[in-house]
Amino acid sequence: GAGMTKFGELWDMSLRDLFVDAALKAMSDAGVDTLDSMYIGNMSGGQFVGQEHLGPLMADHLGVAGVPAMRVESACASGGMALRAAYFEVASGMSDFVLASGVEKMNDGADVTGVLATASDQEEEVYYGVTFPGLYAMIARAHMEKYGTTEEDLSWVSVKAHRNGANNPHAQFRRVMSLEDVMTSSVVAEPLRLLHCSPVTDGGAALILCPADRAHEFTDQPVKILGSGAATSTLALANRMDPADLDVVELSGTRAFEQAGISPRDVDVAEVHDCFAIAEICCYEALGFVERGKGKDAAKDGVTDLGGAIPVNVSGGLKSKGHPVGATGISQAVTIVDQLRGKAGDVQVDGARIGLA
C-alpha cells in the first residue's frame, strides 16, 4: 500500500498530522488495520519544530501505541533508509506488516539554511560559511569544467521538472516554467539560479510492506522490491576523488542492480535526487543511464523526458514536487509504485514494469 500528502507550505498541518495523513492513506490502500513495526524517516524534527523521539509519538497518534517504532535519520536519504530498514525486517521473516514512512515540517520558522547545513561537515565546511547551494554550485562548476556543461543544460532539467510537476496533484509547484523563466531567475550560488533549486517543503509519505507470498491477499497488483543498495561517500566535498561524479550514487546503484539481477538498460522509469538541477545530471551518469559527460544533454534532447528512452522524475522531482527532506525518499518510491500499477495519470510511462528510486 502507498500514500502521501500534498507537498507544499502546509500551515494548517503539524508534523504529526502529516505523518498520520500519509500513514492512514497507505494502510487504507493496503487494506490493513494493524502493524507489526514502523520506521519514520526524518532529518531534523528537533530543529525544525523542536520535536525528537518520533517513534512513540507517531505510533500514539496513528492509534497503534505499543507497536515498535523507530525514527531513521540519514539527511536527504532518511526516507530511503527507512524503506530499506522496513524491507530488511520483512525479508528476515521477523514481521509481516511494516510501515515505511517519511515526514518533514520545514515551514514553521526555523533557519532552514542553517538546519540543512548540519548535514554537511561542520568543521571542514560549515565553519567557513559553506551552504548546500554553495556545495552544489561547486559540483556544477566542476562538471562544467570537466564536461563542458552549461547553465542552459542545467535549465532544461528544471523545465522538464515543472512540465511533469504541473500534472502531479501532490506537487508543490504545479506550473510550467519556460527556459527563459529558469535562466532569468535570480542567482542563488553561481552558477545555480533560484529555479535550479528545490524549494522548502512540508509533507509526508508512507508505504506498507508485507512478504511477497502474502501480497495476493491484499492486491491484484503487487509491487516487488527486487533489490536495495546503499553506500556512503566522504561527507566533505573537498575530500572526494572527483566532485563532478556522484560516486555514492554509482556504488549504491550498482549494488541494487546486482541484487535485482538487472542492468540500467532494464529500468523503465526512475525517480532520482534533484535537490539541485546538477544533481539530476550527475545521477543520470552515476546510474549508467547515459555515458559520463553525456548527462548534460539528456534533458535537453528528451532522453529523460516522458516518452524518452529513460523517463526520470516524472513526478516533477524535488524541484517541482517539493523536498520535505525526510519524506522525499518514500515519496519517490510511492511514485514508482503508482507507475508500476499503471495509476500515474497524465505522467504514466507506458508499459512500466521496472522502476528505480
Using an 8 Å Cβ cutoff, are 183 and 322 in contact? no
Helices 15-30/54-62 angle, 10° precision:
60
Instruction: Say how many Å lie between the first and final Cα of the chain, rounded.
Output: 17
Catalytic site residue from 76, 210, 275, 283:
76
Cell numbers 495519470 correspond to what residue?
345
Written as nine digits, the cell of 100 is 515505511
Q: Is 323 a catalytic residue?
A: yes
Q: How far apart are CA 49 and CA 52, in angstroms?
A: 9
Handedness of CA 173, 323, 118, 276 (dihedral sign): negative
Handedness of CA 56, 62, 64, 68 (dihedral sign): negative
Chain CA centroid to CA 83, Å: 12
Catalytic site residue from 170, 196, 273, 323:
323
The residue type of 69 is A
Written as nine digits, the cell of 283 is 545521477
208-223 b/e (C-beta count within 10 Å ≥ 16 → b): bbbeeeebeebeeeeb
141-178 b/e (C-beta count within 10 Å ≥ 16 → b): bbbbeebebebebbbbbbbbbbbbbbbbebbbbbeebe
Q: Is 283 a catalytic residue?
A: no
Chain CA centroid to CA 283, Å: 12
Query: How do beta strands 37-41 and 187-189 pair?
Result: unpaired
DSSP state of 308: S
Q: How far apart are CA 269 and CA 275, in angstroms?
A: 19
Strand blocks (E) in 163-266: 187-189, 192-193, 203-209
- The size of the chain, in residues, is 357
DSSP state of 156: H
Point out the residues that are catalytic. Answer: 76, 323
